[in-house]
Amino acid sequence: MFKKYFAFLLPALAVLAACPAQALPTAPVYTYRNNQKNFLTQKLVNKEPITYCIYLSKSAREITNLQDFEDTLKLSIKLWMINTAQFIRLSGQEKELAPLLAVLEKEPNLQRLPECNFAPYKKGNLQDLDFPPSGKKVPVADLSVFFEDRFFAHMHGQEAIYPFFSLVPAPHLVLPTKYLNINPADETLFGEQARQFISARKQLLQTPNYDTKQIKPLFMEMLKAMQPFGNQRRNLVYGLQHELGHAFGLADQLPSVDNGDLLLGTVQPRRGIMDNFTTFLSCDDADGLVIVLQKALNLTNQRFTSFCQDGITFSDGMEKLSAPKQRVIPSKGGTTTRTYYPQTATNGIYLMEKSEYVNTESEESTRKIYYLFDFSRFPKGKGGFQKQRGKMKILDPNDPENRVPVGEHVTEITLGAGPQHRQTLKENYDDNGKLLSYTLEIYDEEVLTDTRAKTF
Ligand SMILES: [Zn+2]
């Protein structure tokens, strides 16, 4: 079983070899609490038709054409499904995950609408489009795909944007041509390599998802055809797969991305297509799709073992912990560390430790400083560290903003080198995040000069 597993993964690993190995999590993207019910994973599970529309700007038409783009879009959806199914089979969990396999092995019912309806994007200026909408009333697609640079950039008040997926006001995926300009099906640029890609894509699209015997060698061909493009982020196939991951309900997995306090997926990030690292689905991406499918199927109580073979098991969409486990989230000027405990899954409580550089050089730069410190005592123009430590409680695992501090929290700020200014704050919270009392100690040149206490 393992041998087979690795044989399947080998070409993908070869592509990755140049990059440092590191592991990735699968927290569903938090905005999914909006509109959740009628989106892609739910539609797949319900075997409902999924309508989509495609808008290609003039510059997009220099990179692709409607047929080619549509084939690559379908291919990207298929790659998510067949790869995840393959991970399930090769991990020997076909029986346990049979209802999911049944979803993944069935062809999605994709229906293209003749054009995209721009009416929901009210802030957009139609003059930014190379091909204005016909004016006929067309329905809003379940998934609108825009390969263009201006309309959405200007709508968001920017000159240029990165690819993104959004559910608001309607599910739409935007791929700027400035960013995604490598089309592996471009025969003029890539010749024989492009022909191999087109052939593998055609055959894959013609092969039903359940036909694993055919799918496997075809997927190998696809990997080979994609190899010279490596993990290039400008590759259209990659861009579509990554953004579709969001459409399936998965969040970005960059180590620096703070996905709120969702207790879904793994505590520690692992590498995959959702952290812009690989061109093809990783075991972590497959873990993520299984979690969102289980949720859509109301099978969240079902356990499964991570396809990454790292000893992680999931239950209720969460990693099952037998000992405390940390996640370190680096950010500009500091880090946040969260320690999760086996009981975090039930009581939602974890330890938060935050350390960041702050300074008092300007009013703007003091913004990160905790509001209960006494600003009037701070020396001007000094930098230093602010450290916070205390337990947080997640009130709703589906809503990252819905978390509160509980118990004792200690926050300390140290400004300046040599003779320092320091303020230490101890706060006490009840189980619902209500501040009960605090004590503030102010030190100047290491001497305690003031103590203030308040009880509410
Ligand atoms: Zn993303």
Cα–Cα distance between 220 and 81 in angstroms, integer?
A: 15
According to DSSP, the residues that pair with 415 across neighbouring strands are 384, 421
Reduced 3-state DSSP string for 137-159: CCCCCCEEEEECCCHHHHHCCCC
Whole-angstrom CA distances from 387 to 28, 288, 341, 357 are 29, 33, 22, 9
Ligand 1 center to residue 26 CA distance, Å?
12
Distance 441 CA to ligand 1 centre (A): 43
Q: How many angstroms does the Cα of residue 243 sit away from the middle of ligand 1?
A: 6
The tens digit of pLDDT for each residue in 326-371 reads 989 888 889 999 999 999 888 989 999 999 999 999 888 899 999 9
Q: Which tokens belong to 436?
A: 């009960």
Q: Compute, in angstroms, the gap from residue 31 CA to the centroid of ligand 1.
A: 13
Cis upstream peptide for 169 (omega within 30°): yes
Give the Å distance between the CA of 398 and the centre of ligand 1.
19
The secondary structure of 347-382 as a DSSP string is H-EEEEEEEEEEE-SSTGGGGGS-TTS-GGGSPTT-
Structure confidence at residue 99 (pLDDT): 96
Alpha carbons 428 and 408: distance in angstroms, whole number: 5
126 CA from centroid of ligand 1 (Å): 26
Decide if pLDDT at 1 tops 50: no
In the structure encoding, which two tokens stand for residue 402, read together? 């819905």
Distance 272 CA to ligand 1 centre (A): 11
Structure confidence at residue 231 (pLDDT): 59
Distance in Å, CA 371 to ligand 1 centroid: 33
Ligand 1 midpoint to CA 81 (Å)? 18
pTM of the model: 0.85
- Supply the mean pLDDT for the chain: 86
Tokens of 189: 């640029």
Distance (angstroms) between ligand 1 centre and the Cα of 252 equals 5
Spacing, Cα 274 to ligand 1 middle (Å): 6
Q: What is the pLDDT of residues 391-428, one digit of tens each?
A: 999 887 766 678 899 999 999 999 998 778 999 999 99
Ligand 1 centroid, distance to 251 Cα (angstroms): 7
Q: Cα–Cα distances in Å, from 346 out to 339, 340, 341, 343, 396?
A: 15, 11, 10, 5, 11
How far does the centroid of ligand 1 lie from the alpha carbon of residue 36, in Å?
A: 18
Centroid of ligand 1 to alpha carbon of 258 (angstroms): 13
> What is d(CA 208, CA 201) in angstroms, rounded to the nearest whole number?
13
